């Protein structure tokens, strides 16, 4: 009897005539065969593109392709090797260890001895640790390989300086609506039939792809599979059929930092509509609402400050409301705090004043406050002059004595310079008035 799992003849499926090759996915069938067919990367492959200029000399240097998924990084690397007569070797950092790398390098050396260069494409290159990244340096320097690494993460953070100094970083952009539309038209030509979508649904599908060409073709394939003869989907039906593809958003990497930065700067720039857009994207991507709420409190402190003291109160209250109500009602409180902060008068005077005061405190040394503002709980301290000459401001005219409160060895400083905006306009009036009284009392 044959051992379990072995086959001594044709399979039952083949005998029944049911065995056939699985159809290749549409995205694979439409993979560009020439560099001119790559869409959405004209800044690299257009007439004056960086790669176009490299190819005019038929020589390539090592590169790092940085960009979102589905923007053509692997395809372009493969086509560059073809255009320069280099052997194309592809590995993934996820599945490759040190022993595998040594084997790849040895084969590249043997190939070079026979007159054949090697373009080594490393997918997810950022997943290699520092030591593994260093192993590429000798073979890059002696020309054994032309390295093309692909990464979705910021190379500045994920790749070591030695590797970056030997490779040029090229940025691949998310595909815009026009580029996605070109892909859909190619898909319709290949399939020999139009996508069963009305105009609005077609635009929605491009949005669902989120700049990912591969995703747009995968979604188109799902639409064709789902549509019955003569059926055309509207936007609502499209969402029901294919579901919505999750946005590209890594909460611990660039997506996280880029969106919170965009939200913060939109609030600082007094644009509530842009701020709400980025807020909605972060909520939609699953960012913890309390993290956003904390950042809104920071915006209220850093960018509004005393121009509108209520901003910090409202931002902090939104955090408390979310704690109390949870999602989704609590998210509305955060949204309202964002609107309030975006429309509030702006001032970073308090933020700058604190920074300046800290700098002086660090550099001026441990200066003793003037004795007249020090308490004298003992007779010895009284004899030493502690508290002598202190003027109780409430007893002074206008409740302002004009005394000096800085250390005797430190000239008077002015850290806080409020602008004439919002509530700080009133604060500035008070400070100017007190400065006038101080000059009068000092006889200046």
Q: What is the DSSP string of 301-339?
A: IIIIGGGSTHHHHHHHHHHHHHHHH-TTHHHHHHHHHHH
Examine residue 186 and state whether it is found in any structural domain, yes or no.
yes
Examine residue 249 and state whether it is found in any structural domain, yes or no.
no
Examine residue 248 and state whether it is found in any structural domain, yes or no.
no
Asked if residue 84 and residue 151 are part of one domain, the reply reads: yes
Asked if residue 81 and residue 46 are part of one domain, the reply reads: yes
pLDDT score of 382: 85
pLDDT score of 365: 80
In this prediction, residues 199-219 reach a mean pLDDT of 88
Does the pTM of the predicted model rise above 0.75? no
DSSP class per residue in 249-302: --TTSHHHHHHHHHHHHHHHTT-HHHHHHHHHHHHHTT--HHHHHHHHHHHIII
pLDDT score of 245: 53
Contacts 24+ apart (CB under 8 A), 219-222: 219/245, 220/26, 220/184, 220/187, 220/195, 221/25, 221/26, 221/27, 221/187
Examine residue 408 and state whether it is found in any structural domain, yes or no.
yes
Asked if residue 51 and residue 160 are part of one domain, the reply reads: yes
The contacts of residue 94 (CB under 8 Å, 6+ apart) are 123, 124, 127
Pair 202, 184: CB distance under 8 Å = yes
Total of domains in the chain = 4
Asked if residue 376 and residue 298 are part of one domain, the reply reads: no
Instruction: Identify the band that residue 3 occupies on the pLDDT scale cut at 50, 70 and 90.
Output: very low
Q: What is the pLDDT of residues 12-29, one digit of tens each?
A: 545 555 455 567 888 889
Instruction: Identify the band that residue 71 occupies on the pLDDT scale cut at 50, 70 and 90.
Output: very high
Asked if residue 192 and residue 225 are part of one domain, the reply reads: yes
pLDDT score of 6: 42
DSSP class per residue in 368-397: PPPGGGS---SHHHHHTTTTTT---GGGSG
pLDDT score of 104: 93
Pair 266, 256: CB distance under 8 Å = no
CATH number for position 312: 1.20.272.10
Instruction: Identify the band that residue 157 occupies on the pLDDT scale cut at 50, 70 and 90.
Output: confident
The answer, yes or no, to whether residue 316 has pLDDT greater than 70, is yes
In this prediction, residues 86-110 reach a mean pLDDT of 91
pLDDT score of 2: 41
Query: Cα–Cα distance between 429 and 425 in angstroms, integer?
Result: 6
The answer, yes or no, to whether residue 252 has pLDDT greater than 60, is no
Asked if residue 330 and residue 410 are part of one domain, the reply reads: no
Q: What is the pLDDT of residues 331-366, one digit of tens each?
A: 999 999 999 999 999 999 999 999 999 999 888 888
In this prediction, residues 410-435 reach a mean pLDDT of 92
Asked if residue 296 and residue 269 are part of one domain, the reply reads: yes
Q: What are phi and psi of 260, to 5 degrees?
A: -70, -35
pLDDT score of 351: 92
The answer, yes or no, to whether residue 374 has pLDDT greater than 80, is yes
In this prediction, residues 213-226 reach a mean pLDDT of 91
Examine residue 297 and state whether it is found in any structural domain, yes or no.
yes
Pair 71, 211: CB distance under 8 Å = yes
Of 111, 143, 171, the one marking the end of a domain is 171
Examine residue 25 and state whether it is found in any structural domain, yes or no.
no
Examine residue 17 and state whether it is found in any structural domain, yes or no.
no
> What average pLDDT does the chain have?
87
Instruction: Identify the band that residue 1 occupies on the pLDDT scale cut at 50, 70 and 90.
Output: very low
- Considering the chain, what percentage of its residues have pLDDT values greater than 70? 92
**Per-residue CA distances from 44 to 36, 110, 169, 173 (Å):** 11, 32, 11, 10
pLDDT score of 22: 61
Asked if residue 159 and residue 51 are part of one domain, the reply reads: yes
pLDDT score of 248: 54
Pair 159, 66: CB distance under 8 Å = no
Asked if residue 139 and residue 61 are part of one domain, the reply reads: yes
In this prediction, residues 254-279 reach a mean pLDDT of 88
The two structure tokens encoding residue 109: 């050396």
Q: What are phi and psi of 237, to 5 degrees?
A: -70, -35
pLDDT score of 11: 53
Asked if residue 97 and residue 139 are part of one domain, the reply reads: yes
pLDDT score of 75: 94
The answer, yes or no, to whether residue 185 has pLDDT greater than 90, is yes
Give me the domain span that covers residue 216.
177-242
Asked if residue 187 and residue 278 are part of one domain, the reply reads: no
Instruction: Identify the band that residue 5 occupies on the pLDDT scale cut at 50, 70 and 90.
Output: very low
Asked if residue 133 and residue 72 are part of one domain, the reply reads: yes
In this prediction, residues 20-47 reach a mean pLDDT of 87
With tokens 């000798």, the residue in question is 138
Examine residue 64 and state whether it is found in any structural domain, yes or no.
yes
Instruction: Identify the band that residue 414 occupies on the pLDDT scale cut at 50, 70 and 90.
Output: very high
């Amino acid at each position: 009897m044959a051992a379990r799992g072995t086959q001594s003849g044709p399979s039952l499926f083949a005998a029944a005539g049911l065995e056939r090759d699985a159809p290749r996915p549409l995205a694979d069938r439409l993979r560009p065969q020439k560099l001119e067919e790559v869409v959405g990367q004209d800044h690299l492959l257009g007439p004056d593109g960086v790669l176009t200029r490299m190819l005019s000399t038929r020589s390539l240097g090592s590169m790092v392709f940085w960009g979102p998924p589905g923007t053509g990084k692997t395809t372009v690397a493969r086509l560059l090797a073809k255009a320069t007569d280099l052997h194309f070797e592809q590995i993934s950092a996820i599945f490759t260890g040190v022993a595998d790398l040594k084997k790849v390098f040895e084969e590249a050396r043997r190939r070079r001895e026979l007159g054949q260069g090697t373009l080594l494409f490393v997918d997810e290159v950022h997943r290699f640790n520092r030591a593994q990244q260093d192993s590429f340096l000798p073979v890059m320097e002696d020309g054994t390989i032309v390295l093309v690494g692909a990464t979705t993460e910021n190379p500045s953070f994920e790749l070591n300086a030695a590797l970056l100094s030997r490779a040029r970083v090229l940025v691949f952009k998310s595909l815009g609506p026009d580029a996605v539309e070109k892909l859909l038209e190619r898909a319709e030509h290949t399939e020999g039939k139009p996508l069963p979508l009305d105009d609005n649904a077609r635009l929605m599908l491009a949005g669902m792809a989120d700049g990912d060409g591969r995703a747009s073709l995968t979604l188109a394939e799902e639409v064709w599979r789902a549509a019955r003869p003569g059926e055309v989907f509207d936007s609502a039906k499209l969402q029901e059929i294919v579901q919505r593809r999750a946005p590209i958003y890594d909460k611990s990497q660039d997506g996280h930092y880029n969106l919170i930065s965009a939200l913060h700067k939109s609030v600082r720039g007094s644009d509530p509509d842009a701020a709400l857009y980025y807020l909605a994207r972060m909520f939609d991507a699953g960012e913890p609402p309390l993290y956003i709420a904390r950042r809104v409190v920071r915006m209220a402190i850093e960018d509004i400050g005393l121009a509108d003291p209520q901003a910090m109160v409202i931002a902090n209250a939104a955090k408390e409301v979310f704690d109390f109500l949870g999602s989704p009602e609590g998210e509305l409180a955060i949204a309202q705090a964002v609107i309030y902060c975006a429309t509030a008068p702006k001032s970073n005077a308090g933020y700058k004043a604190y920074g300046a005061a800290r700098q002086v405190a660090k550099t001026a040394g441990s200066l003793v406050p003037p004795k007249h503002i020090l308490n004298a709980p003992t007779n010895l301290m009284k004899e030493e002059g502690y508290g002598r000459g202190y003027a109780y401001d409430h007893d002074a005219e206008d409740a302002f004595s004009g005394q000096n409160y800085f250390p005797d060895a430190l000239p008077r400083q002015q850290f806080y310079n409020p602008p004439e905006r919002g509530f700080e306009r009133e604060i500035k009036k008070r400070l100017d008035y007190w400065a006038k009284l101080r000059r009068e009392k000092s006889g200046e």
